[in-house]
Chains A and B, each alone.
Chain A
Amino acid sequence: MTAHLEIISAQKNYKNFKAVDNVHLSINKGEFVTILGPSGSGKTTLLKLIAGFESLNNGAILLDGQEITKKKAYDRNIGMVFQNYALFPHMTIFDNIAYPLQLRKVPKQEIKEQVYKALQMVRLEGFDSRFPSQLSGGQQQRVALARAIVFNPPLLLLDEPLGALDKNLRQQMQFEIKHIQEKLGITTVNVTHDQEEALTMSDRICVMNHGRVEQMDTPERLYNCPQSKFVSSFIGEINWFHGEIIHSESGLSIVKLLNGQVVRMKAEQTLKENSAVLIAIRPENIHVVHEGSAYTHKYHVKVMGKTYIGDSFRVEAMTDTNERISIKLPYAATKEMAVGDQLEVGWNTADASLIPDDEAKNDAVS
């Protein structure tokens, strides 16, 4: 499959601030991609660059193989849903949705058909003569979506579309947007800082930080095999064991941990010998060691506290080498556990990922 939307070494500076820094993105036709990042990571700027509301300092944007870098926003034919919906308050719902069609000089009868079809798709039949202010947040959101897809754009952009909705409504809308997106097969770029939204809706997620792409992968890969310290901590909870590469060849690395243990792990990226690394493990992948259970690595830890988190307990513990870890354990396993207890925990290298420790690198430089 050839890329539908392609961003090539995109650069956007505001004075000396690099909002988007050498970003490459390649998105397939019909794909739902979420750009995920904290505020100030450049995700919204990247979306504005695609929409044409901001212009690139360097690089190119291609849509359907055509370069659109220099095209004005109104010539790009891209549908967009804004964070606050940006419905025109002085127009009825019908006129709001008809607006892009009127601009394209679509005949009146056809406009009518298209608008009613779009209203039906977002399940808002009968709302056509109301004004935006007479609608709830979720309904306004649907109108904004209908307006963005009514002219059959090749690309749909969503700028934190669910930010203003409460939790239940947000989950419902996630499902509905995803459903409509799949039905239309429209290539979609969504921007959010909500990791849960990103994980549930996307085919692939692009994690951004400081204007750069940290990692672009499927939700599963992003969660299970994070490639950087930032990605591992931004999505879900993570434990880090500090270590150092003592040998590395052909994708296999040997890491020496702080407690002297040696771990042999597959590494996705080439890591230099003697460089500082982290072994990242999710809290649910650390288990209490029972007799007969085989783990590639075991630790003695001291329980520092436990917190009830609904379906399970989160146990905070301290290793011999003073590394604080968090373990997710079922209720039964924690029943007899008290603060100060010694515990033996274990994990498997298959559940861990090896990532460079960029902060340690920075320390070494300075």
Chain B
Amino acid sequence: MGLRLLVIFILFVFLLPIILIIPLSFTSVAYFQIPPPGYSLVWYEKVLQDPVWIQVFSRSLFIGAITAIVSLVVGTMAAVAFTRLNFWGKNIFLPLMLSPMVVPTVVVAIGLYHFFSPFKLADTYTGMVLSNSVIAIPIVFTLVIASLKGVDRNLELAAMGLGSTPIGAFFKITVPLMKTGLFSGALFAFSLVFDEPIISLFMSGANTKTLPIKYWESLRTSIDPSIAVVSTVLIIMTVALFLIQGWIGSNAAKRNVRQE
């Protein structure tokens, strides 16, 4: 009973600041006050009519999606190579792959900026996708390795013995069995574009501003409930994505439970 109360308390402390944002977005006044003196949809109207918010939001969706695809493909390929193959320098492969996760983001960001500038990649979509992928790939890599280890190698051998090429076996057998890991990886890479400000701060410009930057700017210039509206939309989006992920995961788990 005591433990249960503790858990409820911890959840309360963790979640309250997030949940408080939601009523704030429905406020009728131009400042933050809890509880709001009145409720209305004016701020939703304002955000929806603001071309800058819409543009930044859809741009973030686009860059997020491309980042997710790029880092999923590269991270998965690296993970498959690492778990299934033996190659020269395998021992230093893992620390090298994980280094962007370990090195402080600011350091990575400065490095990327100086590395990308000569190629005219600063303030371009390509630059944004690549730099966000640098951070996302190690995480996709780790997640995919974990789920690859859960896939019995004999299943791939069985598929090949039955007449499938290794590539065919990978897509027909391995990919469906580790889709939970793949989806988590993609989800992480996607959401990185929405909440990782440091890399974007260095790499983006007027043409490639993403949500974290716009957030940052509007916090400095004009604090108004618009930001609560955008936050609420993000919360709903994230919750939805995690529900989908949980649903995929539980479907996979159901099948793997033995009913003997």
Contact B260 A89 (CB under 8 A): no
Q: Is the interface of B mostly helix, strand, loop or mixed?
A: helix
**Given known contacts A82-B154, A90-B176, A103 and B161 CB-to-CB distance under 8 angstroms:** no
Cα A217 to Cα B5 in complex, Å, equals 72
Cα A52 to Cα B165 in complex, Å, equals 13
**Per a CB cutoff under 8 Å, which of A79, A100, A137 touches B260?**
A137
Neighbouring B residues of A90 by C-beta, 8 Å:
176-177, 252, 255
Neighbouring A residues of B152 by C-beta, 8 Å:
84, 86
Cα A82 to Cα B159 in complex, Å, equals 11
Contact B163 A80 (CB under 8 A): no
**Given known contacts A89-B255, A89-B256, A74 and B164 CB-to-CB distance under 8 angstroms:** yes
Neighbouring A residues of B205 by C-beta, 8 Å:
none
The count of residues in chain A whose C-beta lies closer than 8 Å to any C-beta of chain B is 30
**Given known contacts A82-B154, A84-B154, A86-B154, A99 and B162 CB-to-CB distance under 8 angstroms:** yes
Neighbouring A residues of B159 by C-beta, 8 Å:
88, 99
Neighbouring A residues of B166 by C-beta, 8 Å:
74
Beta-carbon nearest neighbor of B163 in chain A:
A103
**Per a CB cutoff under 8 Å, which of A53, A84, A103 touches B162?**
A103
Asked if B69 is at the interface of the complex by the 8 Å CB criterion, the answer is: no
Contact A74 B157 (CB under 8 A): no
Asked if A262 is at the interface of the complex by the 8 Å CB criterion, the answer is: no
Cα A134 to Cα B255 in complex, Å, equals 8
Contact A100 B256 (CB under 8 A): no
**Given known contacts A86-B155, A88-B173, A78 and B161 CB-to-CB distance under 8 angstroms:** yes
Asked if A77 is at the interface of the complex by the 8 Å CB criterion, the answer is: yes
Asked if B84 is at the interface of the complex by the 8 Å CB criterion, the answer is: no
**Given known contacts A86-B152, A86-B157, A134 and B259 CB-to-CB distance under 8 angstroms:** yes
**Per a CB cutoff under 8 Å, which of B163, B177, B256, B257 touches A77?**
B163
**Given known contacts A73-B161, A74-B163, A151-B163, A133 and B255 CB-to-CB distance under 8 angstroms:** yes
> Can you list 14 A-B contacts (CB < 8 A)?
A73-B161, A76-B161, A77-B163, A82-B157, A86-B152, A86-B154, A86-B158, A89-B177, A90-B177, A90-B252, A99-B172, A103-B162, A131-B255, A133-B257
